[in-house]
Structure 1
């Protein structure tokens, strides 16, 4: 009988392209595929090192002259909502939560299209059709959930979808992969509400963190993440409490990013992928 050891993942770098967060800068990503029996283990391990999942790919920024993008997560046990965030919770208390298997629906896609057309009409997802949307939701080799928030009509029992979040379940937390909401309800701060509710889900499940993706100092799109209490960012190969957002600069620095070979060499892989017992 032949036995094969799991192969160590191979890492690649994308070609430079315009940065979607900071004007005048270029971005590139370090990435690897996420597949096979070790997918969940790899996702758990690399998420702790600043990587994010997109379908069956794990990636993190690897820009030649910029290190502004910082992976961010909330420390659930220490989190306390601000007065403004408590108002957001109260404003959306009528919404019901449904956590389902990662299966795309027409209602989700209709909401997704309205969200993109209103807020990101010129973004990278602007031309995404229903089949590509279904792939984004359903092509996941790990434990994922689609969390829906809906308002139910007391008269006829019908419900209107208000917000959706694709969420990965990690061994140490919840990772909010992608969220979208009804643009007509922008005043209800549904994006903030979804994060606050995920903190509650994680607390109920005994999970210590909620991963929010990247915080980018200097980017108006990402500034809201710094408003959450007990926030940590991954910088200099370790998680640091974000006590002062001003302490992290978005300035370019030609020597801020190590060569790719050094970056890959310092990635900690699960023991089974290193050939260790």
Structure 2
């Protein structure tokens, strides 16, 4: 039996660019490649430390003068829907969920294009073509599903969520929905359904990506009870959203070398 030596992930930093969430700020990301036999182990470990997956990359915000982007997750055992969220569930009683393999379809792309054109026409994904869309869906080295939502009255595809299955939860990588059904609050419905799905399979968390205090785009995440955010190396209950205003102060930022040194890496040694 031969033991292989561990290969430590290499971390890199992107060049600063305009922040999509807070005006006048610059965005920078810390990232590492997600590949090989230990990809799932690394994804599980770093997701618990505020990282997110995008295709074959794990990343976390690492801005030079701002720490506003906080990884957020719902603790399923502590989630109780609000009155408004219960209304969303009742309003969408005809929706049926199907979890499929991570394979892109033309029907999904057509809905994706309608969603982008209506909601994010000037965003970073606005020019994504069908091949790039397929890569977003299919290039995954971990356990991933495409969760489709259809209206049972006409079998129309009305929402899609690309979802990673972690060892402790479901991670919503990216979701999109029919922009003509704004009154149905489909984005909220997808999150509520993932909480229900996590309960069904016994997973304790639903990872929502980043919550950004001060950003209207991300404010909806603070409306979910049982929400936790990753701050100073650990998860804590959200509490009062107003308490996080200091996250945008430049003195709250650790040097990049210190950030990397504080990452808790899993044992990636293999045997063959």
Verify same fold: TM over 0.5.
Answer: yes
Q: Judge which range, 237-246 or 175-184, deviates more.
A: 237-246
Tell me the distance in 2 between the aligned counterparts of 1:141 and 1:255.
37
Structure 1 counterpart SS, 2:210:
strand
Distance 1:30 1:162 in 2: 34
- 1:170 is matched with 166
**Length, aligned pairs only:** 270
Contact 1:217–1:250 at 8 Å: present in 2 too?
no
Aligned partners of 1:144 and 1:169 also within 8 Å: yes
Q: Residues 101-155 of structure 1, C-alpha deviation per residue, up to 9 Å, x if partnerless?
A: 00000000000000000000000000000000000000000000000000123xx
User: 1:126 and 1:270 mapped to 2: Cα distance?
Assistant: 36
Q: Indicate the SS of the match to 1:271.
A: coil
Check whether the contact 2:6–2:267 (CA below 8 A) recurs between aligned residues: no
Match of 2:34 in 1: 34
Which residue of the partner structure matches residue 209 of structure 2?
Answer: 213
Q: How big is each residue's C-alpha offset from its partner over 1:14-59, in whole Å with a ceiling of 9 and x where there is no partner? A: 0000000001000100000000010000000000000000000000
Could you tell me how far apart the structure 1 residues matched to 2:24 and 2:259 are?
25
Q: What's the offset of the Cα at 1:3?
A: 4.7
Contact 1:216–1:250 (8 Å) recurs in 2: no
Cα distance, 1:251 vs structure 2: 5.7
Query: 2 CA distance for matches of 1:169 and 1:94?
Result: 26
The Cα of 1:2 is off from its aligned counterpart by 6.2
Q: Does 1:241 align with 2:237?
A: yes
Q: CA deviation at 1:173?
A: 0.2
The worse-fitting range, judged by mean Cα deviation, of 263-272 and 210-219 is 263-272
Paired position in structure 2 for 1:263: 259
Q: 1:78 Cα shift? A: 1.1
Could you tell me how far apart the structure 2 residues matched to 1:269 and 1:251 are?
A: 25
Classify the secondary structure of the residue corresponding to 1:142: coil
1: CA distance, partners of 2:88 / 2:141: 34
Deviates more, 1:250-259 or 1:76-85: 250-259
- C-alpha separation in 2, matches of 1:250 and 1:137: 36
- Alignment match, 1:92: 92
Q: Deviations over 1:156-177 (max 9, x none)?
A: xx51001000000000000000
Asked if 1:139 corresponds to 2:174, the answer is: no
User: Which residue is equivalent to 1:74?
Assistant: 74
Other-structure match for 1:53: 53
Quick check: 1:102–1:137 contact (8 Å CA) kept in 2?
A: yes
Tell me which residue corresponds to 1:188: 184
Q: CA deviation at 1:4?
A: 2.9
Output the TM-score relative to the length of structure 1: 0.95
Q: CA RMSD in A?
A: 1.3
CA positional deviation for 1:6: 3.2
Per mean C-alpha deviation after superposition, the further-off stretch among 4-13 and 200-209 is 4-13
- Alpha-carbon offset, residue 258 of structure 1: 1.2
Distance in 1, Cα, partners of 2:101 & 2:179: 25
